[in-house]
Amino acid sequence: MPQGPRICGVDEAGRGPIAGPVCAAAVLLDPQRTIAGLTDSKLLTERRREALATEIRVRAFAWSVGWASVEEIEMHNILRATMLAMQRAIRGLAVVPDEAWVDGDHCPDAGCTVRAIVGGDRLHAAISAASILAKTARDAEMRRLHALYPQYRLDRHKGYPTPQHLELLARHGASEIHRRTFAPVRALLR
């Protein structure tokens, strides 16, 4: 175990898409087993993210991924669903953290001290690691959903409202994995 307070980094992936769940990850890094190249997942290539995700899962003291479903996003709104996914990720850790540092400006109720850090995924390695795990886990889930809903090409845009996704949504209509309270989907249902 690390000396001093056990601080986990927390970040999410999937707040902006119009389809699929939102994912969060919590990571408690081992200072004796550093991982080179940790940064905001959006700054990394897909290949580099995947390699780092494997390294994080092997080298971290503890890591966990939490989810909030499309139904929970619709029921609560995306912010509250994201906080729920973060809470699940933190509580899923095999090691109870003393503190959680969360990327952004909102904090989930996590059963420990929580600190929001805007831009934290570029400032703190543990938050960067969480960013990478959340992104790679959500991307894998969207590839899985692509196999069930190939007409939307979820493997390409991961549920984000790209021109291609919006065109396919207009052509095929909304599926059960589309977020009906989000404006582009809601507009099609009128």
Place of tokens 């909030």: 68
Say if strands 113-117 and 62-68 run parallel, antiparallel, or are unpaired: unpaired
pLDDT band of 124, cuts 50, 70, 90: very high
- Per-residue pLDDT, averaged over 26-51, amounts to 94
- Selection from 81, 31, 58 nearest residue 133 by Cα: 58
**pLDDT, mean over the chain:** 95
Tell me the Cα Rg of the chain. Answer: 17
- State what percent of residues in the chain have pLDDT above 70: 98
Residues 188/169, Cβ–Cβ less than 8 Å:
yes
Q: Residues 132-148, buried b or exposed e (16+ Cβ, 10 A)?
A: bbbbbbbbebbeebbee
DSSP-derived 3-state class of residue 37: coil
Over residues 56-73, the pLDDT tens digits come to 999 999 999 999 999 999
Domains of the chain: 7-188 (3.30.420.10)
Over residues 167-176, the pLDDT tens digits come to 999 999 999 9
pLDDT band of 5, cuts 50, 70, 90: confident
- Per-residue pLDDT, averaged over 70-80, amounts to 97
pTM for the model stands at 0.94
Residues 42/49, Cβ–Cβ less than 8 Å:
no
Over residues 128-141, the pLDDT tens digits come to 999 999 999 999 99
Residue 188 confidence (pLDDT) = 83
Length of the chain: 190
E strand residue ranges, the chain: 7-13, 22-28, 62-68, 99-103, 113-117
User: Could you tell me the CA-to-CA distances from 34 to 30, 53, 65 in Å, in that order?
Assistant: 7, 13, 21
Instruction: Name, in order, each residue with C-beta under 8 angstroms of 74's C-beta and a sequence gap of 6 or more.
Output: 179, 180, 181
